[in-house]
A and B are shown apart, each in its own frame.
Chain A
Amino acid sequence: MKTDSVLEKVLRSGKLAVTSECGPPRGVGPEKIRQKAEYLRGYVDAVNITDNQTAMVRMSSFAAGLIIRQMGMHPILQMVTRDRNRLAMQSDIIGAYTHGINTMLCLSGDHPHFGDHPMAMAVHDLDSIQFIQMVRKMRDEGKFQGGADIENPPKMFIGAAANPFADPFELRVARLAKKIAAGADFIQTQCIYNIEKFEKWMEGVRDRGLHEKCFILAGVTPLKSVGMARYMKNKVPGMDVPQEIVDRMAGVPKDKQAEEGIRICVETIERLKEVKGVAGFHIMAIEWEQKVPEIVERAGLYPRPNLG
């Protein structure tokens, strides 16, 4: 065990891990995040707290993560390089760890162009891979990125994102290899609808033994409607939604589409369980957190192991 992270414990025990995600509110107050997290209690091993997702200002993932921790749940602190330099990142990492947050996800972040402050200057002092290297150095060498010793080094369980569906496909295994070489302990993938393509990526991953160096959590997102399926297919870069899925959603009356979306999600999880190298699932049900318990149960992933 590298850290005290509950997620690490579950993964190393050989059981399939389950994580989910909460987006902090666009204003002050703990109620919304508490409510979302409460849906997930007992159904997930850890919860991602997003960091100004899609470049829209929200309560900081650190602050929201604290609330989750105080609820007795286990946050995964997402941090993007877009919004802070290496001083602020290391500073927040020490602070978060002090408050009992021991798992994090190192990301570059969506471009400000997508968000509510396109006029802002993006920082990107580091990229996600250099960021992973930095966090590993803090944990394993007890040193800051600049080289000085850290008084009490934080022992973060380090995560990163992987997107088997982005272009160019031929690079996606190599990019994962780079993140693992940099120090990623676990990976969460972009949500999967095109299982064949994911399986192809996993072949490449297994060929290089990467699934044994790093825990791969397959991302899934339940579709709420055919409109959502079409939007994700056409408007979101790096997202692969096969036409069959869109057709399947379209083939069902509007008031039954949400049900169908959940069904597809559960089926996807069942199929992904068969893929060698998949160590768990990351269920992203944005603004639909109340459905996560049902998905976890129907996918045979309940109850969660009590290791934390």
Chain B
Amino acid sequence: METFEPVIVAFCCHYCAYTAADMAGTLRIPYPSNVKIVRVPCTGKVDMIHLLKAFEKGADGVYVAGCLEGDCHFKNGNLRAARRVREAKKLLAAVGLEGERLEMVHLSAGMGERFAETAREMTEKIRRLGPSPIRTAKEKQVP
């Protein structure tokens, strides 16, 4: 049996998380290619529909990476994102998706190592959870 390779979408804000991802790259700190980064100007731009659509299209896990509290370039976009992530977890639960598949993380632009670590942790967590029931259902669908 093949090991399941999770598909993880990471919404990263330009000012902190994406820069941290960049730094991980520059410092040659490896992180799993399971994590697909989507750059956003601020995590406050990430709306409920983006989170849901990621799962609808078959992602096994999603996380939103924004600035540390108090450091958001747009003042409180990261706090709004955190609220939305909390709400989205409830919606996903109604559909039968485990809450841990979606997370909010906070880091600063200089935290390249932390970025890679988060990516690894999330990948392993989702690997243990198994494929998303949505992904499984999609793969079963007769085209």
Q: Consider the complex of A and B and state whether they touch directly, i.e. have CB atoms less than 8 Å apart.
A: no
Interface residues of B (CB under 8 A from A): none
Interface residues of A (CB under 8 A from B): none
